Structure 1
Amino acid sequence: MAMAQHAAAMAEKVRSDGEETRGGADVDGREWRSIIAAAQAGDRRALDELVAGWLPLVYNIVGRALNGHADVDDVVQETMLRAVDNLGTLRDPDSFRSWLVAIAMRQIRDRARRRTSETLDDGAGDQATDFAELTVLRLQLEGQRREVAEAVRWLDDEDRQLLSLWWLEVAGELTRRELAAAVGISRQHAAVRVQRMKERLETARGIVRALDSSCPELPEVTARWDGRPDSVWRKRLARHIRGCAYCSGAREGVVPAERLLVGIALVPVPVGFTLSLALGGKTAAAATGVGWSAKVISALTKPAVALTAGATIVAGGAYVVTQAPDKPPPRAAVAPTAASTARPPSHTPSATPSASPSPSPTKTDVYGTVVDAVDRAPDPNARPGTLAHRPESGVTSTGGAKAVMQHRGDSVTLSGKGYVLVRWQISPKSRPGALVMPAWTGLEGKLFHVASGGGRRMDDALPGAPDGYATGMGGPSIGYTVLPSGTQQMWQNEYFYLDGSVTLTVNERGADYGLIVFPSSWDAANKDVTTGPAQGAIRYGLVRDNGEDTAPVPQYLTRATPTDPATVAQRSRV
């Protein structure tokens, strides 16, 4: 332990002296000086390289400082435009990186001041992409590295801004001198600020660890928590950890954050990220006037990275599969059904080839382009549409005919061709709060969400229920089970159609719930969804299947097999 502390102290001294390796791009410092000088002299090819080479660094700084807020795109755009607009004022090419980082930090602070003066609501609707989640997924972080990334959510804005620079410093992308210059303080003051931020980061790591544990007292503490990190709950949870032998004892074996972050790559600029020139009065003509080449203008009005076959883009709040780069990506939508007149009409992606003659037309595979989306519950007396009848040869389950899964990590693997019933058991009396949805992983073949039944939707009011248990999701006296933002509300029984194999895992932490998984049949599913109020149930079910590949696929689905299924994104990636 003493040797580890000594090594960390020496590493901190090296960083403070500014002697660490300079990173940030796959070009050495000498070549960058030549590129920057050439761009200042009007070489448009050099300007292209400058923009492409430094965009990832700016994106990581801004993304982590704002934790993926919807304003990230605007701040990155404004930073890059200001840098190009003022490139001629830069006297020393060697100082380009610290100069660019300082511009990014000014834009971040300006954005914070604007939002404060405008008193904008910083609700969940403003979130574009959770950068902590993006970091975990794109860099495939696991264990304590994932814990550090998730802890960022619990930091205040000022600490997150500093962390965005310190993270890159530890990873070898910035020097301590550049960090201090970007914040506008001395290196000595920066060392103090960084140390305080690291202490708060360790507190946040403890919270992440506790929420992921089986502490018997924590459910009572988090009973009223809506699942969103904020300063009030950070203090409450930190206070609980300090006084809890179970949670405080989990600190053994914790590796310092700086040792975990050494050598971590930059988070790639995501597919679909777009830089627009229509920002701050900038136009293509204005950009050309400050030296932008046609190539740069084109690049800044298109995705910053090339799409590849099987890549994903963000559309309508869900990840959807894209085609090869020469084909336009499909739009994400919910397949229309006749089951619910309350749902708005949806656009269904078309697989029809282009009308233009082609020597070798390619059929577009549209499976996976439609992901479950949030809908309103139909009227209880609205009869469902006809359930499409898909081929059945039977499904086998590693859990047998009735797999009961009640604890985090419980899983069942399903194989074959046929229908599967997943029955929900949400238990707010045991433990209400934020619910972490189960995940479908290791998909081979195809999986569709075909129908919902069981006589009630989980947020339906329960007739005759005692006070405090007004709905299947809880009540005022016991608290409520809260779904993640954007989650498709479930019925008590959810039916899926599998052609292949897939694993379903319970990710319980927070709200208490269980799943019972049964291999089923079309007959059973059809009977369930058509059993309505006349038979004593609260409502009819809902048909989602149109019998085609454009039927919805379930949320939280991936072909990957992550070590922790709870890291599957809050959207499908198939």
Structure 2
Amino acid sequence: MDTRQWSSTIAAAQAGDRRALDELVAGWLPLVYNIVGRALNGHADVDDVVQETMLRAVDNLGSLRDPDSFRSWLVAIAMRQIRDRARRRSTETLDEAAAQATDFAELTVLRLQLEGQRREVAEAVRWLDDEDRQLLSLWWLEVAGELTRRELAAAVGVSRQHAAVRVQRMKERLETSRGIVRALDGACLDLRELTGRWNGRPDSVWRKRLARHIRGCGYCGDPRESVVPAERLLVGIALVPVPVGFTLSLALGGKTAAAATVASTSVGWSAKVVGALAKPAVALTAGVTVVAGGAYVVTRTPDAPPPRAAVITPGPATTSAPPPPPAAPPPSPASSSPSASPTTKTDLYGTVVDAVDRAPGPNAEPAPLPHRPESGVTSTGGAHATMNHRGDSVTLSGRGYVLVRWQISPQYRAGGLVMPAWTGLKGRLFHVASGGGRRMDDPVSTTDPSATGMGNAATGYAVLPAGTQQMWQNEYFYVDGSVTLTVNERGADYGLSVFPTTWDAVRRDVTTGPAQGARRYGLVRDTGGDDTPVPQYATRATPADPATVAQLSRV
């Protein structure tokens, strides 16, 4: 984003051009959102800090002498607001708000469709301390071509030489964090035992513990592919679009009021807040509310009667997105109107559930995976939620795909599996595919005829409940709304890792099979319609004990 291209717009806004000010706010909001969002890792305070930054920029625009320095000036304001927020916050407030936050690393992966080592870098950010994360928020944009080193140093308030030293130290800790992300995705039994007491939230204490383990572990410390330096991975990467539902309110007070509310119809920033106000922009008295998409604009004086909203349709968005999910789930056949025509096709959703299915042959290619609309799924557990104990849960919200990876360990504790439950469902939930190259219920001993036992005579067996479907190491689901997944471990030992993912990643896993040995394809369960199976243990209710959810519950 070249400031020189904005010089005329900045000058016009300073001179009182309302449209130029609207364009300036809309054009530079993504940069500020990325800096603040990454520095705070999506903490609930992001909205407030972004709003305060833009408010101060608009309020003080008249004091900017050189329009070419606008970007440096705006970034410096954002960093001051981030540091002020750090000084004001309390531990109690942080912990309470963090439970409601959206992990910015997760948004980065979902919005930019990052994969491989680029995804690894984004997830590693979660392991950095606040100070390193603030610096990384600027360095990430520097290597992406959005900031210069001079602007980075000015925003931090140090010389370019000192900035280089600080960036190098931060990069070293980032590489350590990348190693942790790789190790957690692996299958090291010693690491699993170590993380059995971990609550799943990255912090400096666990970063040091895991780093010590990796340094001394031949499995975790051996990267399975060449590690590319982070700066090479981030060159030219785009800004994370302002997410659907993000709200910006600029309340400048005074006699004239203008309010704009933007509909959540696209991912990314496409709206321009418009108004016909005659006063100079830097002296305007206005209130503006902005969200990603189109706009509703209301203008009135203090003595005017309540206004009628004029709807402004946004121009074509550069990034398309599916329509928002329905406000309520589709009616079940039981609730259909008795006066409906007997020939009318009823909605099958909720009437078809999984049952025991026959496993395909190892060389049988799966059916094509239908591509359902995706706008991204956020998780209260972040991009990689690890659940190892009874009662651990994660809430998933949005529209898109989710991977649930099983780790069953009868060597630690054998017995019957008490399956996890999906509760509090709002919207729809489908079980779309199974993969990972391995079926969890494959017989592992020729002397044991059981088709549902996992383990062996030496370690013990984990046994599925009667009537349970075939299980694979990776199970894929499609969420359109929100739902909570809870571990009901009692009996056999198991853990779940939950990742928001993408259609392309699901298709690749299901159709590729393992890299070595006999090919084993996955299984596509999605028919593309509402008759796609739903999970066996799912309910719209929120029971006190999720383990009580019936196996063949109907939703």
Judge conservation of contact 1:215–1:247 (CA < 8 Å) in 2: yes
The two structures, once aligned, show a CA RMSD in angstroms of: 5.5
**Closer/same/farther in 2, CA of residues 233 and 514 from structure 1, 3 Å limit:** farther
**Closer/same/farther in 2, CA of residues 53 and 565 from structure 1, 3 Å limit:** farther
Judge conservation of contact 2:34–2:137 (CA < 8 Å) in 1: yes
Match of 1:133 among 99, 106, 114: 106
Judge conservation of contact 1:42–1:291 (CA < 8 Å) in 2: yes
SS of the equivalent of 2:198 reads coil
Q: So what's the TM-score if we normalise by structure 1?
A: 0.55
Residue 113 of structure 1 aligns to which amino acid in structure 2? R
Give the Cα separation in 2 of the matches to 1:104 and 1:366.
50
Shift of 1:172: 0.8
Aligned to 1:222: 195
Match of 1:53 among 18, 21, 27: 27
Match of 1:504 among 409, 430, 434: 434
Aligned to 1:454: none
Give the Cα separation in 1 of the matches to 2:286 and 2:436.
47
Residue 146 of structure 2 aligns to which amino acid in structure 1? E
Shift of 1:30: 3.4
SS of the equivalent of 1:214 reads coil
SS of the equivalent of 1:267 reads coil
Judge conservation of contact 2:123–2:181 (CA < 8 Å) in 1: yes
Give the Cα separation in 1 of the matches to 2:282 and 2:122.
36
Judge conservation of contact 2:16–2:282 (CA < 8 Å) in 1: no
Residue 323 of structure 2 aligns to which amino acid in structure 1? T
Give the Cα separation in 2 of the matches to 1:293 and 1:214.
61
Moved more, 207-216 or 172-181: 207-216
Judge conservation of contact 2:38–2:134 (CA < 8 Å) in 1: yes
Q: Say yes or no: does 1:94 pair with 2:68.
A: yes
Q: Say yes or no: does 1:303 pair with 2:270.
A: no
Judge conservation of contact 1:63–1:131 (CA < 8 Å) in 2: yes
Shift of 1:436: 10
Q: Say yes or no: does 1:209 pair with 2:182.
A: yes
Q: Say yes or no: does 1:40 pair with 2:14.
A: yes
Judge conservation of contact 1:206–1:251 (CA < 8 Å) in 2: no
Give the Cα separation in 2 of the matches to 1:552 and 1:334.
15
Aligned to 1:560: 503
Judge conservation of contact 1:272–1:304 (CA < 8 Å) in 2: no
Q: So what's the TM-score if we normalise by structure 2?
A: 0.57
**Closer/same/farther in 2, CA of residues 206 and 283 from structure 1, 3 Å limit:** farther
**Closer/same/farther in 2, CA of residues 558 and 49 from structure 1, 3 Å limit:** same
Give the Cα separation in 1 of the matches to 2:143 and 2:229.
12
**Closer/same/farther in 2, CA of residues 125 and 62 from structure 1, 3 Å limit:** closer
Aligned to 1:15: none
Q: Say yes or no: does 1:111 pair with 2:81.
A: no
Aligned pairs, number:
389
Q: Say yes or no: does 1:167 pair with 2:140.
A: yes
Judge conservation of contact 1:273–1:304 (CA < 8 Å) in 2: no
Residue 135 of structure 2 aligns to which amino acid in structure 1? L
Match of 1:242 among 205, 208, 215: 215
SS of the equivalent of 2:223 reads helix
Shift of 1:144: 0.8
Residue 327 of structure 2 aligns to which amino acid in structure 1? R
Residue 258 of structure 1 aligns to which amino acid in structure 2? E
Aligned to 1:31: 5
Judge conservation of contact 1:85–1:290 (CA < 8 Å) in 2: no
Q: Say yes or no: does 1:255 pair with 2:185.
A: no
**Closer/same/farther in 2, CA of residues 113 and 469 from structure 1, 3 Å limit:** farther
**Closer/same/farther in 2, CA of residues 559 and 49 from structure 1, 3 Å limit:** same
Shift of 1:55: 0.8
Judge conservation of contact 1:68–1:127 (CA < 8 Å) in 2: no
Give the Cα separation in 1 of the matches to 2:216 and 2:291.
52
After TM superposition, the structure 1 = structure 2 runs for residues 389-404 of structure 1, keeping only pairs within 5 Å, are: 399-400=359-360
Give the Cα separation in 1 of the matches to 2:480 and 2:7.
52
Shift of 1:44: 1.6
**Closer/same/farther in 2, CA of residues 396 and 84 from structure 1, 3 Å limit:** same
**Closer/same/farther in 2, CA of residues 243 and 91 from structure 1, 3 Å limit:** same
Per-residue CA distance 1:25-49 (angstroms, 9 max, x = gap):
xxx5433112111111112222122
After TM superposition, the structure 1 = structure 2 runs for residues 63-78 of structure 1, keeping only pairs within 5 Å, are: 63-78=37-52
Give the Cα separation in 1 of the matches to 2:39 and 2:149.
17
Match of 2:422 among 488, 495, 500: 488
Give the Cα separation in 2 of the matches to 1:334 and 1:125.
33
Per-residue CA distance 1:358-414 (angstroms, 9 max, x = gap):
xxxxxxx9999xxxxxxxxxxxxxxxxxx8479x9x9986x339x9xxxxxxx9957
Aligned to 2:122: 149
**Closer/same/farther in 2, CA of residues 550 and 159 from structure 1, 3 Å limit:** closer
Give the Cα separation in 1 of the matches to 2:389 and 2:97.
17
After TM superposition, the structure 1 = structure 2 runs for residues 347-386 of structure 1, keeping only pairs within 5 Å, are: none
Shift of 1:178: 0.6
SS of the equivalent of 2:434 reads strand
Give the Cα separation in 1 of the matches to 2:481 and 2:127.
38
Judge conservation of contact 1:271–1:303 (CA < 8 Å) in 2: yes
Give the Cα separation in 2 of the matches to 1:235 and 1:260.
25
**Closer/same/farther in 2, CA of residues 472 and 55 from structure 1, 3 Å limit:** same
Judge conservation of contact 1:274–1:301 (CA < 8 Å) in 2: yes
Per-residue CA distance 1:71-91 (angstroms, 9 max, x = gap):
111111111111000000111
Residue identity over aligned pairs, in percent, reads: 62
Per-residue CA distance 1:513-533 (angstroms, 9 max, x = gap):
9579xxxxxxxxxxxxxxxxx
Judge conservation of contact 1:225–1:433 (CA < 8 Å) in 2: no
Shift of 1:333: 6.8
Judge conservation of contact 2:117–2:228 (CA < 8 Å) in 1: yes
Q: Say yes or no: does 1:322 pair with 2:256.
A: no
Residue 291 of structure 1 aligns to which amino acid in structure 2? A
SS of the equivalent of 2:433 reads strand
Q: Say yes or no: does 1:178 pair with 2:151.
A: yes
SS of the equivalent of 1:250 reads coil
